[in-house]
């Protein structure tokens, strides 16, 4: 199970960010989401953490649902293109710098899930972050590439 989550920072008129994500079991996207964040964030990293918090319950629910259907999920991978965010998710408060210390502790729920082994975080280069399709307008080759990946017409 591969989930890609990304955000666009402060893109709405009220300066709220936007969350986008995809879920894939191989080819194509089984689930996509795109929604405005409910909170204003002070940094791009904080907006990314809010994006993950917005979808973490769906990540865990999908894993449990598949297992109850008789399909054991050995790899529940969350891909991100922000290395600072990956450190925050894996290490929690220990990786919080001066700009991220104001982040509310409730957003470290993902850190707890990583420690329990329910989710594994992996780096995905921005050029391969399919969730960008759900958060910002894309043009040309990048649009066509991500569209084809989401529709399952390209591996």
Rounded to whole angstroms, what are the CA distances from 72 to 1, 2, 76? 10, 14, 10
Q: Which tokens is 154 given?
A: 């390209």
pLDDT of residue 67: 94
Segments of the chain assigned E as strands: 2-8, 18-24, 31-36, 77-80, 120-123
Q: Which tokens is 19 given?
A: 């969350």
pLDDT in tens, 46-78: 888 889 988 888 999 999 999 999 999 988 999
Tokens 């894996």 sit on residue: 90
pLDDT of residue 99: 61
Give the mean pLDDT of the chain. 88
pLDDT of residue 44: 86
As beta bridge partners, residue 4 has: 22, 79
Segments of 37-128 assigned E as strands: 77-80, 120-123
pLDDT of residue 106: 61
pLDDT of residue 154: 65
pLDDT in tens, 82-134: 888 888 888 876 766 666 655 666 667 888 888 899 999 999 999 999 999 99
In this prediction, what percent of the chain has a pLDDT beyond 70?
90
Q: What is the pTM of this model?
A: 0.84
The helix (run of H) or strand (run of E) holding residue 142 is: helix 140-151
Helices (H), 69-96: 83-91
Segments of 15-126 assigned E as strands: 18-24, 31-36, 77-80, 120-123
pLDDT in tens, 31-53: 999 999 998 988 888 888 889 98
Q: In 3-state terms, what secondary structure has residue 34?
A: strand
Q: Which tokens is 151 given?
A: 């529709």
Per-residue pLDDT band for 27 (boundaries 50, 70, 90) equals confident
Rounded to whole angstroms, what are the CA distances from 140 to 91, 96, 137? 38, 37, 10
Is residue 23 within 8 A of residue 62, CB to CB? The reply is yes
pLDDT of residue 45: 83
């Amino acid at each position: 199970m591969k989930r890609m989550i990304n955000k666009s920072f402060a893109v709405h008129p009220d300066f709220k960010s936007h969350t986008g994500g995809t879920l894939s079991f191989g080819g194509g996207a089984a689930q996509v989401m795109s929604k405005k964040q409910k909170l204003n964030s002070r940094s791009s990293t904080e907006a990314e953490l809010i994006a993950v918090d917005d979808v973490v319950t769906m990540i865990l629910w999908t894993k449990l649902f598949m297992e109850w259907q008789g399909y054991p999920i050995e790899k529940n991978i969350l891909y991100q293109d922000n290395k600072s965010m990956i450190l925050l998710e894996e290490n929690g408060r220990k990786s919080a710098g001066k700009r991220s210390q104001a982040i509310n502790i409730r957003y470290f729920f993902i850190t707890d899930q990583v420690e329990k082994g329910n989710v594994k975080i992996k780096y995905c280069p921005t050029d391969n972050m399919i969730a960008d399709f759900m958060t910002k307008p894309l043009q040309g080759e990048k649009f066509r590439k991500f569209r084809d990946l989401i529709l399952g017409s390209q591996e």
